[in-house]
Amino acid sequence: MLEDKTPQKTDIASLGEFGLISHLTQYFTIQQDSTIKGVGDDCAVLDAKGLKTLVTTDLLVEGVHFNLSYMPLKHLGYKAVMVNLSDVYAMNAEASQITISIALSNRFPLETVEELYSGIQLACEKYNVDLIGGDTTSSTKGLLISVTAIGHAEDEKITYRNTAKENDLLVVTGDLGAAYLGFQVLEREKQVFEVDPNNQPDLDAYTYLIERQLKPEARKDIVRILNDLEVIPTSMIDISDGLSSETIHLCQQSKVGCNIYEDKLPLDPQVISTCEEFDLNSTTVALSGGEDYELLFTIAQSDFDKIKGNPHLTVIGHMTDEASGMNLITRGANQSVPLTAQGWNALLEKNTES
Ligand code: ADP
Ligand code: MG
């Protein structure tokens, strides 16, 4: 349903590698003072200005991490950047530069790669990061994209995964589970389309979910908010695999346990209604859905007053001693259920089997 309908098809070979790179990067401007040299030389040159430098990278493979039949290229470019920026913000740092490396098979014309780069450019503009380099090569099959993000932060503010303390509060940003449900909706529509290409899907009830899947936003704002509130989290991670598995990472690396309260999990109304429609448990979706790109962090109890009432932040539980384990305290019954790191792959398998 979201097939590439670009009428023009320009063979990439006609541009040559240098032609392609300069064509793709021509509209990118340098926004950061820390970028001394961007695209165009053997290396980019950065000036960290006394701050610590943070580096993170991700490799995305067609058919494994994305599917072009319902992921428009522009969205893919945007999302590939978001996934990396989210990792920088998860360290309580500011993202400032990215590099993009791509491998393309000859089935991709120039117009398709332009689409990809228009999404990358939108992300750079919106998040104030500079594209400072990359690599371009061919692949025998499919598209590969590797993004590296670079960030900067004061040493004292960098927040690791292994420093949560017993009795700290566990806080999550935004809401959970929507990206996973967006994927489910798109999968269903794709199957309907394959049976009847004339069927026009009515996706109004799922706009938020689809947007969360196709155009996630990394939480740059949270790094600012925490800074303004003068809160330095005691530990932090971003939610790519799902709340459950990220909480387990924080706990295991910090050698603490936790209690998460089911009735505190922030859910959008579209998540609740779509879970009912798909006969899914909204708590399971929130815990294991993944791809939300929200931040999960712990704070000292003494910082609670500073974050209280902030609409972006929800306290969902607290850290305990390691021996108490990692538990979900259920709604109503108040039972304690051990958290499991299901991740959204497990959810997916269960769904496609049935
Ligand atoms: P080298 O041969 O030294 O690796 P390249 O010809 O690959 O240099 O790259 C030339 C310049 O273009 C470098 O600054 C490189 O970082 C940048 N570059 C190459 N590919 C890309 C890309 N896909 N996106 C953005 N910049 C790129
Ligand atoms: Mg190169």
For 273, the token pair is: 């209604």
List ligand 1's pocket residues with C-beta within 6 A: 21, 24-25, 39-42, 100, 102, 131, 133-136
Residue 195 identity (one-letter amino acid): V
Q: Is 165 exposed, middle or buried (0-12, 13-18, 19+ CB in 10 A)?
A: middle
Residue 202 identity (one-letter amino acid): D
Dist. CA 71–CA 92, nearest whole Å: 29
pLDDT digits (tens, 9 = 90+) for 123-176: 999 999 999 999 999 999 999 999 999 999 999 999 999 999 999 999 999 999
Dist. CA 300–CA 95, nearest whole Å: 25
pLDDT at 332: 83
pLDDT band at 200 (very low <50, low <70, confident <90, very high): confident
pLDDT at 352: 40
Q: Which ligand is nearest to the CA of 103?
A: 1
Q: Which ligand is nearest to the CA of 38?
A: 1
Task: Residue 188: name the closest of 178, 203, 177 by CA.
Answer: 203
pLDDT at 350: 44
Average pLDDT, the chain: 92
- pLDDT > 80? residue 248: yes
Task: Output the CA angle 146-149-150, nearest 5 degrees.
Answer: 150
For 157, the token pair is: 């503010």
Question: Is 56 annotated as ligand-binding?
Answer: yes
Task: Residue 168: name the closest of 235, 223, 230 by CA.
Answer: 235
pLDDT at 235: 98
pLDDT at 63: 92
Question: Is 288 annotated as ligand-binding?
Answer: no
Question: Is 135 annotated as ligand-binding?
Answer: yes
pLDDT digits (tens, 9 = 90+) for 21-37: 999 999 999 999 999 99
**Residue 270 dihedral angles phi and psi, to the nearest 5°:** -65, -30
pLDDT digits (tens, 9 = 90+) for 165-174: 999 999 999 9
pLDDT band at 314 (very low <50, low <70, confident <90, very high): very high
Q: Is 288 helix (H, G, I), strand (E, B) or coil?
A: helix
**Contact yes or no for 77/118 (Cβ under 8 A):** yes
**Contact yes or no for 97/36 (Cβ under 8 A):** no
Is the pTM above the cut of 0.85? yes
- pLDDT > 80? residue 299: yes
The helix or strand, by DSSP H or E, that contains position 28, with its residue range, turns out to be none
- Beta bridge pairs of residue 146: 59, 101
Distance 40 CA to ligand 1 centre (A): 7
User: Which of 39, 101, 129, 148 most suits a substitution to test ligand 1, by most atoms within 8 Å of the C-beta?
Assistant: 39
Question: Is 77 annotated as ligand-binding?
Answer: no
Question: Measured from the CA of 25, which atom of ligand 1 is nearest?
Answer: 25
Dist. CA 274–CA 278, nearest whole Å: 6
Q: Which ligand is nearest to the CA of 135?
A: 1
86 versus 66: which is more confidently predicted?
A: 86
What percent of the chain shows pLDDT beyond 70?
94
pLDDT at 160: 98
Average pLDDT, stretch 42-59? Answer: 97
